[in-house]
Amino acid sequence: MSSTDINCSRRRALQTLGLFGLAAAVPGTIGAAQKAEAKSQITDQDIFNFALNLESLETEYYLRGTSGKGMDDADAGKSPGAVTGGSGPVPWQNQDLRQFMEEVAANELAHVRFYRRTLGDKAVSRPAIDLTAFAAAAKAAGLGDGFDPFANEMNFFLGGMLMEDVGVTAYHGAAPLIKKKEFLDAAAGILAVEAYHMGMARSVLYQMGPEARHAANALSDARDKLDGPDDLDQGIEVDGKANFVPSTPDGIAFSRTPQQVLRIVYLTDKPGVSAGGLFPNGMNGNLKTT
């Protein structure tokens, strides 16, 4: 095995252990038994509930932006948290763009219902969601104070891109940990839908012109600062050209661990954080700490 292969294998192991906060406790080389033990601690139920939290956020965002109303009580679980903000609908000027986002909203709601149906009484309730935290995310990206994602079409697509990019990388990062074949098949299908959303949002923002491109790239940079030292994220414009597919040189979408995802949605670059940002009381379920 080459030194490159060894480094890649060790990096994958560290990422796996990082899902459970164990990486820092393992000095030097990580053995196969340790990797297997770490992977065994996360269940398909944990992964699907983690996804359900994210899908609940997306559903509330897109429904409120297109219809002015969030999900029904029947879709929110037994003891749902409150949703703060979301003064939609967006004052749509372009009905094509509205139809794009109406389809996205329907997809996200379908994902929530799929996870609730699949998990049954093991499904977590909708966590408390703070949609006003998009303003903090925008401020951290250098876009000034008072950002409202529901104020206009560009802002709404920027908020959508912030979530969709993270969703795609989250599904990709979780895929190797899913044990049940039919669950992996479902997750792969949902990842594909989220990727369609992401490509649409990024390409629409690029076509909106310089202001939207600058803002989207600024949000990308801000995510990169939150999720760790690696340079993972990519804006919608790179070297003066469109970049609506953030991927590796091999054309493969990159992935994030749950901890990296949590850093972005909690708006923190610190480890050991269990709440904040878009989820003021944290996510529900076992995967909730950066």
Residue 281 lies in a domain: no
- What is the rounded CA–CA span in Å between residue 223 and residue 33? 33
Judge if 37 and 58 occupy the same domain. no
**Closest CA relative to residue 66, chosen from 136, 129, 192, 150:** 150
Give 3-state DSSP helix, strand, coil % of the chain, rounded to 5. Answer: 60, 5, 40
Residue 15 is predicted with a pLDDT of 40
Contact 204, 97 (CB under 8 A): yes
Residue 20 is predicted with a pLDDT of 39
Domain count along the chain: 2
Judge if 31 and 46 occupy the same domain. no
Residue 11 is predicted with a pLDDT of 39
Residue 142 lies in a domain: yes
Q: Amino acid letter at 43?
A: T
Residue 246 is predicted with a pLDDT of 87
Judge if 105 and 196 occupy the same domain. yes
**Which residues span the domain enclosing 145?**
42-265
Residue 199 is predicted with a pLDDT of 95
Residue 40 is predicted with a pLDDT of 58
Q: Is the peptide bond before 176 cis (omega within 30 degrees of 0)?
A: no
Low-confidence ranges of the chain (pLDDT < 70): 1-40
Tokens of 196: 């369609």
The model's pTM is 0.86
Judge if 150 and 195 occupy the same domain. yes
Residue 39 is predicted with a pLDDT of 55
Residue 251 lies in a domain: yes
Tell me which long-range contacts 72-75 makes (C-beta under 8 A, separation of at least 24).
Answer: 75/109, 75/112, 75/113, 75/116, 75/126
Judge if 54 and 86 occupy the same domain. yes
